[in-house]
């Protein structure tokens, strides 16, 4: 088995594959990271799903249903990438997500109630996610990097469609603009928290970074996001809320006053103890149970191992 | 029996189909693949897969991507203002390339 020293020494982009015998610490850290990512894709899709029905036009409905379908696909890709580490099976990860042990992104623990909130997820949160995912194309676990290739390919449409919804709302009636601004104010701190706590408070960063799993620190990612998306928000006429205070440095990057953010709520969410988040978890669980019969029927009707004959292969 | 061969040029890249070999078993298939497909072109790894284990579905059986106008699924369908994040631009460029390739068929 490869020792941790060698892993750290070799840890370049796409360096390790299932052909490598990697130490438990690496495989567990990678599993935690990818499982979190996979769960987030699924929970994000469930959060947005009601808006397929609530879309204000046929164009939006088509695009939004394509998007939700994409996100479920991303979840499937990522469970495969996580499963290939040999720590947890896909079933174990899905069960954990259903029973409340599976962790996922803070933003997807909040209810999404109105169409004006939709671009908060599908433009800002997806934009933040895409920033992070672009860096993960250079992660050291090859199956994860390969999943990111496909995810990033598709995600450009999501972000631009989300931006288009924002544009439409912010060029709409005064009432629409006002409601969008209110939604923005509510979601803005959560969006900033997407990138997690500052580097010095991040529990897993150092190890994940030393073995090449994570490519950029929380602070760098947050800065890069703000740098890109503050001008975008302003361009559409959104006012950046006074809190959290954001200071523009001389070099054009931003520093967030971390104490202005609600970290109690963030860590309550991180433990899956936030009430609305539990509603999301259970909502998905019930949806899964409701269609159990479909999965069972498919499995029952599939001929054993799809006609696979091992003796012919070996 | 016939084994399909997939070659990966460098660590981290994709294994792509590069041909096939005749071999009586997996071990021999690996040896033949190494000689026939890993000798000249840059090779980091090869996969060998029994041909009968491969399932195929073709464009005569299914309309890949559907038959209706699905332009709403492309980033290029949306006009936004201001500079887009570079990863969004990158994604859009990849989509433009893919769309062009579809048109070539």
- Percent of chain B having pLDDT more than 70? 97
Q: Which residue has the tokens 């130490």?
A: A23
Band of residue A311 on the pLDDT scale cut at 50, 70, 90? very low
At B4 the three-state DSSP class reads strand
User: Can you give the pLDDT at residue B103?
Assistant: 65
Q: Which domains can be identified in chain A, with CATH numbers?
A: 4-196+217-292 (1.20.1260.10)
Cβ contact B88–A160 (<8 Å):
yes
Instruction: Give the pLDDT mean for A165-176.
Output: 97
Cβ contact, residue pair B12, A145, below 8 Å? yes
- Determine the residue among B76, B87, B93 to mutate to test chain A binding: the one whose Cβ has the most chain A Cβ atoms within 10 Å: B87
Task: Give the pLDDT of residue A234.
Answer: 95
Mean per-residue pLDDT of chain A: 92
Burial (CB count <10 Å: 0-12, 13-18, 19+), residue A220: middle
* Residue-range domain boundaries for chain B: 2-53, 71-104
Q: What is the pLDDT of residues B54-98, one digit of tens each?
A: 999 999 999 998 888 888 988 989 988 888 999 999 999 999 888
What is the pLDDT, as a whole number, of residue A314?
A: 38
On the question of pLDDT at A44 being above 70, the answer is yes
CATH 3.40.228.10 matches B2-53: no
The per-residue pLDDT for A204 is 79
Query: Taking Cα atoms as reference points, which of A107, A105, A36, A133 lies closest to residue A75?
Result: A36
- B35: closest CA among B1, B7, B16, B2? B7
Is any Cβ of chain B less than 8 angstroms from the Cβ of A35? no
Across residues B12-41, what is the average pLDDT?
95
Interface ipTM: 0.83
pLDDT at A312: 40
Distance CA B6, CA B14 (A): 9
Write the burial class of residue B16 (CB in 10 Å: 0-12 exposed, 13-18 middle, 19+ buried).
exposed
Local confidence band at A38 (pLDDT 50, 70, 90 cut-offs): very high
pLDDT tens for residues A70-96?
A: 999 999 999 999 999 999 999 999 999
């Amino acid at each position: 088995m490869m020792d941790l020293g060698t892993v750290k020494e070799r840890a370049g982009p796409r360096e390790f594959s299932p052909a490598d015998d990697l130490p438990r610490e690496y495989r567990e850290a990678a599993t935690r990271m990818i499982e979190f990512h996979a769960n987030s894709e699924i929970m994000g899709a469930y959060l947005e799903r009601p808006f397929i029905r609530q879309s204000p036009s046929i164009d939006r409905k088509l695009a939004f249903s394509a998007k939700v379908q994409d996100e479920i696909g991303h979840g499937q890709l990522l469970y495969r990438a996580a499963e290939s580490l040999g720590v947890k099976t896909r079933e174990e990860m899905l069960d954990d997500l259903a029973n409340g042990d599976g962790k996922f992104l803070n933003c997807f623990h909040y209810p999404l109630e109105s169409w004006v909130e939709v671009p908060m997820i599908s433009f800002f949160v997806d934009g933040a996610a895409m920033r992070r995912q672009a860096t993960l194309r250079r992660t050291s676990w090859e199956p994860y990097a390969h999943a990111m290739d496909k995810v990033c390919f598709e995600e450009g449409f999501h972000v631009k469609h989300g931006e288009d919804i924002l544009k439409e709302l912010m060029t709409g009636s005064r009432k629409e603009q006002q409601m969008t601004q209110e939604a923005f104010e509510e979601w803005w701190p959560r969006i900033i928290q997407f990138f997690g706590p500052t580097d010095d408070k991040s529990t897993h960063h150092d190890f994940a970074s030393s073995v090449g799993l994570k490519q950029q620190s929380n602070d760098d990612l947050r800065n890069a996001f703000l740098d890109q998306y503050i001008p975008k928000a302003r361009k559409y006429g959104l006012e950046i809320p006074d809190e959290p205070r954001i200071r523009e440095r001389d070099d054009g990057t931003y520093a967030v006053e971390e104490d202005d953010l609600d970290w109690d709520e963030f860590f309550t969410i991180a433990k899956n103890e936030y009430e609305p988040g539990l509603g999301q978890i259970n909502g998905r669980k019930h949806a899964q149970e409701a269609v159990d019969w479909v999965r069972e029927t498919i499995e029952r009707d599939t001929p054993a191992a799809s006609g696979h004959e091992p003796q012919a292969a070996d | 029996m016939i084994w399909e061969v997939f070659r990966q040029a460098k660590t981290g890249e994709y294994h792509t189909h590069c041909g096939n070999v005749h071999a009586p078993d997996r071990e021999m298939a690996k040896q033949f693949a190494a000689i026939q497909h890993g000798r000249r072109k840059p090779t980091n790894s090869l996969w060998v897969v029994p041909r009968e284990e491969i399932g195929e579905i073709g464009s005569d059986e299914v309309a890949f991507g559907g038959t209706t106008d699905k332009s709403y699924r492309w980033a290029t369908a949306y006009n936004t203002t201001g500079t887009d994040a570079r990863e969004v631009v990158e994604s859009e460029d990849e989509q433009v390339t893919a769309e062009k390739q579809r048109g070539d068929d």
